[in-house]
Structure 1
């Protein structure tokens, strides 16, 4: 028979187990001790008949009450008379001092432990219709800022963040870097976004949408894919589909992510998105402002809405049917996106319209008569593209994607010169040369911040100059500082040559863009900002990823900025309906314009870009002004 120990050992073991129960168990033991002392004192007073001097003997109940008062407050016995009664009161009071001192210590310790537990951010979230952000990265502040704007029309909106970072640190950083949260509340929780239990803390089953950021780790894509897998294939998941926007850096991992997430995930291929916008902006100055306008919530946005009034009408009629909105495409009943379809295409029942508007509540067809200045419409003109010379200064992991994207647009015989001093650039350039047969590649391994070495490149002889940040080998601030130095050198070179150099620069941190304005570059593409805007939009619009895939695809319809004089006669003011008509005759959609006139009001710092203008307003355009169109070439 197994030896269970003596009775005393078993009692001590039982006592130890009860004490391990924490603050509640300690409070229970102190209450039992207090009760025993009170009962003993009350029974002793009742049996012995001891009473205060000159007073009546007390019974058990009255004795228990007197003992309780003296246990709780030592000052109560100050008025006791009679040494016998004083002795009993002293015994009870001393016992009470020890018990209540211990109780205060236990409560204080328990409160501290509870605060520590709350500080760890491990309590469960019970909100509904909230937006969840998984992982922590520099993009998170821009994502939160955009969601705050989107949430202004909602009642009690919440953003819940789950990341492997201290809860208080997250809250402090958000308070420092997000100036105004408006009506949005932020809840931070500490945990592993790839762990099923930790994901349960933020309650994804009742969420509105989920944003999965790319973490600052060695293999961020695998972390993102695992998080999506944990949400979608959770055994306790909800029946309704999730709306997940996930950031993927390497396009080679996109197929796996789509297999894991299915129709519930929209992928934002960060490096491809940035690279394509850099290339497009380098060929058309100011284009990044158009993308920013379409992506942020503080202006015009892209909506996918059912418009029964369009059923049976041609796409061209739909384009001309809105005064304060811009129809740019159709989402068919299978969910496929068609941007800039044939003008004669007829809307079928159940199809949705893809529309640019300031707000979804503002989307309505115009009932006013359309007034056109048909004589101002100019006929289409043919364009021929010649060979181009492009210079890239600086290098990072997006460089090969940018080179590949460039080769798709330039004419044969074009030249790309890559000048940088990163360790692996020679291998990257060799890979680019093997994969490209349309663009001659030239490598110059130089210090791009050195003026003498830049002069040797003869920069003014290039049609386009792209400045990339050294973000693979430097922190964001250091990389942007190096970029600023290069831009300042280019400004001096342009001044010395007495000519304009077309420069587009990649910035990592949006806060450095204002500093870069002094360099007079044509355009700035802010990497983190654009990715953040895209993720925020994708969390609100389930079709946004597909829309931008076509916008940035060479085979789809893309955004171009072309001379206004190619479309209309600018000798007299015309309304935007007339410009829309001229674009439709070319199989294009006019979505806005860019005014170059000095002094033109530009409160949102969009380089003179206006997207989705009111179509009835007549404007006198200059020869330098450009029309923004959605076209296939």
Structure 2
């Protein structure tokens, strides 16, 4: 015998209603009409019978009830012959049908338009804007730097296209970037590899297009496909925008450059990070210099017209600006020369590369008369010494670090590598080396016993790179849908944080400061790092975002950064200030610029040792006014652009 349901009356009524709605439009209209009549007719009857002025006869009252029902239901309620009443009701129903249909069509159209706008499928009608293709954590530093770069513009716009919900993108940007100044950030939903959908952000009329590298193993392939789609959507002949992209793996760099075309700029994350790790490891504090120069919050690279300097030498130009630091030339043919010889002649049509607060602050002002000749000293070149470097961890970029280090160090230098699998490390650096002797050790860099055996304080510098434990990575991948996604970069950062904890304990026990350079993927993890304030961190995601933004604003900067990060070109150095001027003597900064010029270098700032551990500046001063007087001790550093 079947059992009866023991549900409440509310649930049974709801079930009946759901069944009624499922019956279709005709049934719903019929039942809705009956429901209206069941309410309106009795209510109208009560109103008529309770009205003292109602007709006395039954026929009159029934007529009054009919008029009330007709007016309530908007069907007229006309009184007269049956034919007249029927025609009146028919016209009222037809009018009601047409009006309701018209309202429904208008409402549906408006809702469809609103939904289309919310989906982000409309076309951006902007010109001179910046297009960002793709979505990752890099979108926030990129957008933030573009906002800072456009702070002095009356109106600017950023158009973001990504396969992500438009509303979600806007909410995330509003949360992470609450202050956007005068810059409008417009989000559109669509595939970056579909030429038709690329048109939604109007790349043809943009001034710059940035292609962000997404995470995952297929991220570089996605960048290449996006560049190909951009070529299909906007042929290079009709493109006026600067195209800047980035790939993570150096093996895909050549492919991406072919897809970007001769006028596109493709950054290789592996190569750039490896170069900066080596440069910073050998010159502590250099990461702070690059951080200052690459964001738009302080001083950065600009070009300035060489008005009045044509025919004069580059050395003379160094003291021709009081509030800007001259560091190179952009030739009339577009070639870039960083730190050329002081006797290099400035040609007609050349432009100066300067470090300045903004693009309109490079104002000529001769300060050569401020040079204090008596304060300048001539120190002999420092003898090249062999170095001992410790590399903790191993990843895809580590072989590039070894190769770059071999180009920088003096003969007889030694590199000790500690990695989970020293066999993989050996296989990644099989090429012959000129100056560097590499010794591999198998071990877990998060194990304090392994670190204790290394005598870490005895090394000239220590480099920590992100290393993933294969066992932990496999466990995270097999965790199932219930567990949060955990990328290899996040796992590597976690191991780096643990290693830094042990290194800090070792430094405290030895009572000496380690020369430590650390690679991080996430800038948020850098804030958690157990390291001294102002320590050297190379945060790959943020650094590449800053570089892409700088190049998007000035395309010639691609050549500038290429030379800065190349072992063969000029790069920034922190050198003892006492090698240039007498210690503890107050001099105008113009004197330091002249002292550096005589060595074939460009002085761009200084760092005070007394303030190295105190934020936010950490003793760093970039592009000081050359009229400003400064007293540097034998422990302070001068920041110069030089070849060695």
- Give TM-score, length-normalised by structure 2: 0.81
Which residue of 1 is the match for residue 608 of structure 2?
A: 595
Which residue of 2 is the match for residue 399 of structure 1?
A: 398
Contact 1:71 1:97 in 2 (8 A): no
Offset of residue 183 of structure 1: 1.5
Which residue of 2 is the match for residue 50 of structure 1?
A: none
Structure-to-structure mapping, 1:352-371, within 5 angstroms = 352-367=351-366, 370-371=369-370
Contact 1:71 1:93 in 2 (8 A): no
Contact 2:534 2:614 in 1 (8 A): no
Which residue of 1 is the match for residue 637 of structure 2?
A: 626
One of 625, 628, 636 as aligned partner of 1:614: 625
Cα–Cα, structure 1 residues 369 and 375, in superposed 2: closer, same or farther, change >3 Å?
A: closer
Structure-to-structure mapping, 1:63-212, within 5 angstroms = 74-75=73-74, 77-78=76-77, 80=79, 84-101=83-100, 104-212=103-211
Matched length: 561
Which residue of 2 is the match for residue 436 of structure 1?
A: 433
Contact 1:275 1:398 in 2 (8 A): yes
SS of residue in 2 equivalent to 1:434: coil
SS of residue in 2 equivalent to 1:225: helix
Offset of residue 481 of structure 1: 2.8
Which residue of 2 is the match for residue 332 of structure 1?
A: 331
Offset of residue 177 of structure 1: 2.0
SS of residue in 1 equivalent to 2:609: coil
* Partner Cα distance (1:206, 1:191) in 2: 18
SS of residue in 2 equivalent to 1:308: coil
* Partner Cα distance (1:450, 1:550) in 2: 39
SS of residue in 1 equivalent to 2:439: strand
Offset of residue 457 of structure 1: 2.1
1:418-477 C-alpha deviation (Å, 9 max, x unpaired): 22326xx52343231334343222222322222122212221222111111237954444
* Partner Cα distance (1:376, 1:412) in 2: 35
* Partner Cα distance (2:383, 2:327) in 1: 26
Offset of residue 98 of structure 1: 4.8
Offset of residue 528 of structure 1: 0.9
SS of residue in 2 equivalent to 1:310: coil
Contact 1:246 1:535 in 2 (8 A): yes
Pairing 1:345–2:344 present: yes
- Greater CA deviation, 374-383 or 532-541? 374-383
Offset of residue 123 of structure 1: 1.5
Which residue of 2 is the match for residue 479 of structure 1?
A: 492
SS of residue in 2 equivalent to 1:562: strand
SS of residue in 2 equivalent to 1:218: coil
Return 5+ residue gaps in structure 2 as ranges.
1-68, 474-486
Cα–Cα, structure 1 residues 445 and 279, in superposed 2: closer, same or farther, change >3 Å?
A: same
One of 530, 535, 540 as aligned partner of 2:548: 535
Contact 1:139 1:529 in 2 (8 A): yes
SS of residue in 2 equivalent to 1:211: strand
Offset of residue 600 of structure 1: 9.2
SS of residue in 2 equivalent to 1:530: helix
1:362-409 C-alpha deviation (Å, 9 max, x unpaired): 111104562121111111312122222211222222111111111111
Contact 1:460 1:501 in 2 (8 A): yes
Cα–Cα, structure 1 residues 412 and 80, in superposed 2: closer, same or farther, change >3 Å?
A: farther
Which residue of 1 is the match for residue 444 of structure 2?
A: 447
SS of residue in 2 equivalent to 1:320: coil
* Partner Cα distance (2:602, 2:325) in 1: 9
Cα–Cα, structure 1 residues 257 and 351, in superposed 2: closer, same or farther, change >3 Å?
A: farther
- Greater CA deviation, 76-85 or 124-133? 76-85
* Partner Cα distance (1:176, 1:475) in 2: 26
- Give TM-score, length-normalised by structure 1: 0.83
Offset of residue 193 of structure 1: 1.8
Contact 1:267 1:545 in 2 (8 A): no
Which residue of 2 is the match for residue 506 of structure 1?
A: 519
* Partner Cα distance (2:134, 2:539) in 1: 21
Provide the aligned C-alpha RMSD in A: 2.6
Offset of residue 78 of structure 1: 4.5
Which residue of 2 is the match for residue 491 of structure 1?
A: 504
* Partner Cα distance (2:125, 2:227) in 1: 21
1:574-600 C-alpha deviation (Å, 9 max, x unpaired): 111111111111111111100111499
One of 487, 501, 525 as aligned partner of 2:538: 525
* Partner Cα distance (1:246, 1:215) in 2: 11
- Greater CA deviation, 501-510 or 438-447? 438-447
- Greater CA deviation, 439-448 or 136-145? 439-448
Which residue of 2 is the match for residue 34 of structure 1?
A: none
Contact 2:534 2:613 in 1 (8 A): no
SS of residue in 1 equivalent to 2:408: coil
